[in-house]
Structure 1
């Protein structure tokens, strides 16, 4: 195994563990690291199908907690958001969006880590709004997860329900994205080669993260979620 394949495998072991634990974050963590060892287009295409495998595996494990009534508002809201974000990409500096989003994530994460706010159970309409901003942000800076994550954690759902809702939302979006990339010819033999080599590491990381996640309570889970969001916010600002 060449050094590049070995490093890619270790990156996906780490990314799979994180998403197996929290239900998100694999792509946001893996792509910057993969770009250090391969072309960015190859990194994105490999990451898309690998994170899709992670989401599908988690969706199967959490199938008892999947609820389309929770997922559908996020999914439907994301569709016009993707279109809007694509238009904004032509007029707004993506770096400005990343900085503002980073500041928002740091602020929200600090508040939730310092205090223990009560769940406010926002109305379903807020799910469409969170989905819209997730789609718009993803279309501009490829980091559309935070609005959906914040929306789900504001409910008094069990940690498995939060994780399942995020997993279902990201999985469906992942299949749509993978379909577009495959149709555009971005997923080729080299992408599939990396995917085949890193597959055992992706699955191992997902199972490790899922096992750890099953042993922690809801409060600890939310602390990990907001700790990861704060780290991602910092990366968006300094990156």
Structure 2
């Protein structure tokens, strides 16, 4: 089960550039506590984003990424405190609500977004806010992508620039989050053991996703993924 989850998570991010944690966390929490699943998911996120960052390194624009990172670091500190002290049931419900919100935003908000064809260069304050939210949610729930993904899709960046920015930003975020979790005693030897066992399947998933990046209908795949997320988020609230 663990291997299949990270195989699917790696494949999803290889195809779309995001979504590994959103796929993995709801599935992992069916048999693990949130406090156990988050460090495991963060470690596998490092593996995924290293691969994608190397592939897209030519499209990385550090000037655009620094504001996101500046907001992210204090968010990580806040998120680690939440993960360590908030009861598992509250974390699980919060994750379920996050997954439902983001899936619904993409499924039912797409028509409204298509009407707005002109994109703008957003104020840097929005980058700081998106970074803080991503850092906090990543450290506490393991699936902090939505705030930054929403932010970058509202910019004038190209698809490759967006995918590159997300990959390097999530890589750095995951590294700092993993270090904080290790320092806080949240990353146990058992979690490291499970990570070592699951990492090859994560890599295989990323490789398969990258190979099929231009060969499958990504829009249909992503739409199916969001419908599944909507269902999984609902199950987490039961």
Q: Could you tell me the TM-score, scaled by structure 2's length?
A: 0.77
- CA distance in 2 between counterparts of 1:97 and 1:28 reads 9
Q: How does 1:71-110 map to 2 (within 5 A)?
A: 71-82=65-76, 95=93, 99=97, 102-103=100-101, 106-107=104-105, 109-110=107-108
Match of 2:135 in 1: 135
1:192 deviates by 2.8
Secondary structure at 2:212 match in 1: helix
Q: 1:53-98: per-residue Cα shift (whole Å, max 9, x none)?
A: 111111111111111112112111223444566788989x764796
Is 1:211 aligned to residue 211 of structure 2? yes
Q: Aligned pairs, how many?
A: 229
Q: How does 1:69-218 map to 2 (within 5 A)?
A: 69-82=63-76, 95=93, 99=97, 102-103=100-101, 106-107=104-105, 109-113=107-111, 116=114, 117-125=116-124, 126-138=126-138, 141-215=141-215
- CA distance in 1 between counterparts of 2:30 and 2:209 reads 24
Secondary structure at 1:17 match in 2: helix
Q: Is the 8 A contact 1:102 1:232 kept in 2?
A: yes
- CA distance in 2 between counterparts of 1:232 and 1:105 reads 6
Q: Is the 8 A contact 2:134 2:145 kept in 1?
A: yes
Out of 48, 59, 64, the position equivalent to 2:53 is: 59
1:33 deviates by 1.9
- CA distance in 1 between counterparts of 2:226 and 2:66 reads 23
Unaligned runs of 5+ in 1: 1-6
What is the CA RMSD across the aligned residues, in angstroms?
Answer: 3.3
The more displaced of 63-72 and 108-117 is 108-117
Match of 1:20 in 2: 14
